[in-house]
Amino acid sequence: MLLLMAFSGPSFLHPSSASRLNPLLFTKHRRSFALSRFRFRRLHQRQLAVAASANGVFTSPEIAKTFDFASEERIYKWWESQGYFRPHYDQDTVPFVISMPPPNVTGSLHMGHAMFVTLEDIMVRYNRMKGRPTLWLPGTDHAGIATQLVVERMLASEGIKRVELGRDEFTKRVWEWKEKYGGTITNQIKRLGASCDWTKEHFTLDDQLSRAVIEAFVRLHERGLIYQGSYMVNWSPNLQTAVSDLEVEYSEESGTLYHIKYRVAGGSSSDYLTVATTRPETLFGDVAIAVNPQDDRYSKYVGMTAIVPMTYGRHVPIISDKNVDKDFGTGVLKISPGHDHNDYLLARKLGLPILNVMNKDGTLNKVAGLYCGLDRFEARKKLWTDLEEMGLAVKKEAHTLRVPRSQRGGEIIEPLVSKQWFVTMEPLAEKALRAVEKGELTIIPERFEKIYNHWLSNIKDWCISRQLWWGHRIPVWYIVGKNPEEDYIVARNADEALEQAQKKYGKDVEIYQDPDVLDTWFSSALWPFSTLGWPDETAEDFKRFYPTTMLETGHDILFFWVARMVMMGIEFTGTVPFSYIYLHGLIRDSQGRKMSKTLGNVIDPLDTIKEFGTDALRFTLALGTAGQDLNLSTERLTSNKAFTNKLWNAGKFILQNLPTQNDSQSWDSILSFEFEKDDCLLKLPLPECWIVSELHSLIDVVTISYDKFFFGDVGRDVYNFFWGDFADWYIEASKARLYQSGGTSQS
């Protein structure tokens, strides 16, 4: 656990190589450095060492030849038990507060977790050493889709289906699973050395956070920012729920382009339009055929009707629209607004009807006639065979598709019109944009400001409802016998809803709650303030620690989470929820490739820790640059493992040459020495005077880097000072005096 303390604050420090001094050239004519502006808390080293030794926390330096990183867990537990991770309250000092990105309760440790733990721990320990009340608030996310998927698979292995259990029993099973396995990710993050205040750990389905979620929904609805409607969404047939645009990943995959004849009504056998489509099964939902008005090949057919194949002669209009690409396929577009985002927008613009041909499980419905009940992909195969028999199949050819897949389940997403709950985002986004513009919020690296601004400037309304059983139930109640789209009640609980319903509809009214739950990101968007007691703004933690200081996370969830927190924070608390956003990059393999199971290049942090130790892993990750991807290699880890051992051996050398515990006079002399004062410094022997001056210089340089969040520079400067100046020069010089002349060393 050496670097968990040493690297995270200016204990070992170093200037750039250009300003390094040769000890043989050292004179009194040097730069003076003062440490009075730093508020580092002075620990009583003697008492600390005695306490740790008495509890058997640290390996004896006389015995161990190398640092035994297998003891890191024991050291960490001792630190935690001593309360070192809790904030020390000081009403006169501005606290440093950072909220941990809550990992999914289903998750297992990966390098992204190792990266955020490393960077956040550096920030936390640095500010803690400066004497600021420092809170690093941890927690986990209930991960609606991911958790439900895990438990459904577990039940399936027992031959049980979710619907057979019913909602209450299924939810009970999920809670049982959470209690049994939900702490795994927390324990693994502790293994990374995260110095969080674990007494304040939260879970997004905690009672307090659930109260905050309901309050947020009610207030947004009261302000007219939440509405219900049937719109095109991304639908997951396996999970049978809507998923966010941000949770759909597009991949380039090999597919087929099908060419199909659409006969022109009233024309001869030679009058037909050939449509090229990648999804022929959606033709049952066609409401029009469109061509470009500048395409002379088809201008004579505009205004006529076409016969949709395999629909018993259903006619649709042939129209012209400038958005039709003349060069794609045959230049003829079939418009199926119930199953394509672009077709949906075009149909709404032109006033065309919307026809849905698919059930929520991905099978075709009765609109598809003889194909009703068939899975969408089975229907595609059968339809093509039938089209060939009818002479309406022209050809099929290989085509590269941009396939939308669920980020969670991996299945192909189906665009589908569905009734959902939405948040109107534009007014919220305007405030979040102004926060950056006015300098209330700083994004690091700065280049991500453009991406942040572009997304918020072109934001779409947020579909917040999910057709799941695990999550925060939407606080909406409907009236039995009334139209659910017109008569509903938004309330904080069932009793309040019933009271409102009785006032409006009479004492005998019956109500039932909306079966949907909220998008997981809805509760996560409240994380910086819901975890501190909001909506109770008189809560001690809320008054003391909000707004927070820093939000650190991967740049890949800037929109999923970060921007939404900014919007919600401003909306509900009137202030930006944090002052800084620090975005780290992805961790790649030694060849710069993204880690994936397919490539077989995934590096497991726990396996890495077993081989190299937590310190070596963290130090390697810390040497990166904000926002840039980092290539992780065995060579780097091996080198930094050697650095860890160098730290251990240097510490062992110092401990072996300290006075004995009962030599009070020597300890008092050492602990009372004021190294920050020039007069005291110049009384030291030349080696000590030189190394302390170098330390002062290093503190100056490294503090500037810390305050600019240049942690890679901090790591390199610390490395150079410790290995070059301290270990190779100073310790060797000390050995000569200690072992040959019997001298002593003050520092």
Nearest to 621 by CA among 278, 115, 212: 115
Model pLDDT, residue 13: 33
**Higher local confidence (pLDDT), 65 or 720:** 720
* 19-29 b/e (C-beta count within 10 Å ≥ 16 → b): ebbeeeebeee
Model pLDDT, residue 160: 93
In Å, how far are 228, 481, 506, 522, 567 from 510, measured between CA atoms? Answer: 21, 9, 10, 29, 36
Nearest to 618 by CA among 718, 697, 699: 718
Q: How far, rounded to the nearest angstrom, does the alpha carbon of residue 43 sit from its chain's CA centroid? A: 36
Asked if 199 contacts 86 with a C-beta cutoff of 8 angstroms, the reply is: yes
Alpha helices in 295-361 (DSSP H): 341-350
* pLDDT of 549 above 60: yes
Rounded to whole angstroms, how far apart are CA atoms 189 and 185?
6
DSSP state of 581: E
Residue 640: CB atoms within 10 Å: 24
Rounded to whole angstroms, how far apart are CA atoms 195 and 76?
8
Model pLDDT, residue 500: 95
Total length of the chain: 747
**pLDDT (mean) for 166-184:** 93
- Angle (CA) 554 557 560, round 5°: 160
627: left (phi over 0), alpha (psi -120 to 50) or beta: left
Model pLDDT, residue 328: 87
Model pLDDT, residue 593: 84
Asked if 332 contacts 291 with a C-beta cutoff of 8 angstroms, the reply is: yes
Place of tokens 């002593």: 744
**pLDDT (mean) for 683-701:** 89
Rounded to whole angstroms, how far apart are CA atoms 728 and 721?
10
Nearest to 725 by CA among 2, 227, 20: 20
Asked if 364 contacts 284 with a C-beta cutoff of 8 angstroms, the reply is: yes
- pLDDT tier at 3, thresholds 50, 70, 90: very low
**pLDDT (mean) for 664-677:** 83
Identify any residues that bridge with 477 across adjacent strands, giving them in sequence order.
489, 513
**Higher local confidence (pLDDT), 262 or 90:** 262
* pLDDT of 336 above 70: yes
Model pLDDT, residue 22: 37
- pLDDT tier at 662, thresholds 50, 70, 90: confident
Task: Give, for 45, the enclosing helix (H) or strand (E).
Answer: helix 45-54
* pLDDT of 32 above 50: no
Model pLDDT, residue 40: 40
DSSP string, 73-137: HHHHHHHHHTTTTS----TTS--EEEE----BTT----HHHHHHHHHHHHHHHHHHHTT--EEEE
> First and final CA of the chain: distance in angstroms?
23
Model pLDDT, residue 471: 97
Burial class of 201 by CB neighbour count within 10 A (0 to 12, 13 to 18, 19+): middle
Alpha helices in 683-739 (DSSP H): 686-707, 711-720, 732-736
**pLDDT (mean) for 9-36:** 36
Place of tokens 């399936």: 156
**pLDDT (mean) for 385-391:** 96
Pair of tokens at residue 503: 């006032």
Rounded to whole angstroms, how far apart are CA atoms 509 and 553?
48
**pLDDT (mean) for 234-242:** 90
Pair of tokens at residue 15: 């200037």
Is the Cα torsion angle 59, 64, 65, 69 positive or negative in sign? negative
For the ranges 435-439, 481-485, 502-506, the lowest mean pLDDT is seen at 481-485
Rounded to whole angstroms, how far apart are CA atoms 502 and 553?
47
* pLDDT of 47 above 80: no
**Higher local confidence (pLDDT), 41 or 260:** 260
- State percent of the chain over pLDDT 90: 67
Asked if 692 contacts 681 with a C-beta cutoff of 8 angstroms, the reply is: yes
Alpha helices in 481-562 (DSSP H): 494-505, 520-524, 527-530, 540-545
Asked if 419 contacts 529 with a C-beta cutoff of 8 angstroms, the reply is: no
With H, G, I as helix, E, B as strand and everything else as coil, classify residue 475. coil
Kindly give, in sequence order, each residue whose CB lies less than 8 Å from that of residue 323, ignoring residues fewer than 6 positions away: 346
pTM: 0.86
Kindly give, in sequence order, each residue whose CB lies less than 8 Å from that of residue 441, ignoring residues fewer than 6 positions away: 435, 566, 576, 578, 579, 580, 581
**Higher local confidence (pLDDT), 508 or 29:** 508
Mean pLDDT of the chain: 88
Rounded to whole angstroms, how far apart are CA atoms 542 and 535?
9
For the ranges 161-170, 291-300, 598-607, 628-637, the lowest mean pLDDT is seen at 598-607
Asked if 533 contacts 135 with a C-beta cutoff of 8 angstroms, the reply is: no
Model pLDDT, residue 34: 42
* pLDDT of 10 above 50: no
Nearest to 626 by CA among 521, 722, 715, 718: 715
Place of tokens 């209450």: 168
* pLDDT of 668 above 90: no
Kindly give, in sequence order, each residue whose CB lies less than 8 Å from that of residue 4, ignoring residues fewer than 6 positions away: 76, 121, 125, 193, 195, 614, 615, 618
Nearest to 247 by CA among 258, 255, 239, 256: 239
Kindly give, in sequence order, each residue whose CB lies less than 8 Å from that of residue 318, ignoring residues fewer than 6 positions away: 264, 273, 288, 289, 290, 291, 298, 301, 302, 303, 304, 305, 306
Greatest pairwise CA separation for the chain in angstroms: 113
Rounded to whole angstroms, how far apart are CA atoms 7 and 2?
8
* pLDDT of 625 above 90: no
With H, G, I as helix, E, B as strand and everything else as coil, classify residue 232. strand
Nearest to 339 by CA among 277, 388, 261: 277
- pLDDT tier at 592, thresholds 50, 70, 90: confident
pLDDT tens digits along 421-463:
999 999 999 999 999 999 999 999 999 999 999 999 999 999 9
pLDDT tens digits along 563-575:
999 999 999 999 9
Model pLDDT, residue 122: 97
- pLDDT tier at 38, thresholds 50, 70, 90: very low
**pLDDT (mean) for 523-548:** 97
Pair of tokens at residue 120: 């956040």
Model pLDDT, residue 599: 73
* pLDDT of 589 above 90: no
Rounded to whole angstroms, how far apart are CA atoms 45 and 173?
50
* Structural domains of the chain, ranges and CATH numbers in brackets: 82-224+426-473+519-584 (3.40.50.620), 244-415 (3.90.740.10)
Phi, psi of 600 (to 5 degrees): 70, 25
* pLDDT of 482 above 70: yes
Which amino acid type is present at position 65? Answer: K
**pLDDT (mean) for 695-701:** 93
Model pLDDT, residue 300: 93
Burial class of 675 by CB neighbour count within 10 A (0 to 12, 13 to 18, 19+): middle
Model pLDDT, residue 5: 41
For the ranges 50-64, 207-221, 516-530, 707-721, the lowest mean pLDDT is seen at 50-64
Task: Give, for 396, the enclosing helix (H) or strand (E).
Answer: strand 393-406
DSSP state of 468: -
Rounded to whole angstroms, how far apart are CA atoms 631 and 641?
17
Nearest to 617 by CA among 628, 603, 629: 603
**pLDDT (mean) for 492-516:** 95
> Strand 630-631 relative to strand 587-588: parallel, antiparallel, unpaired?
parallel
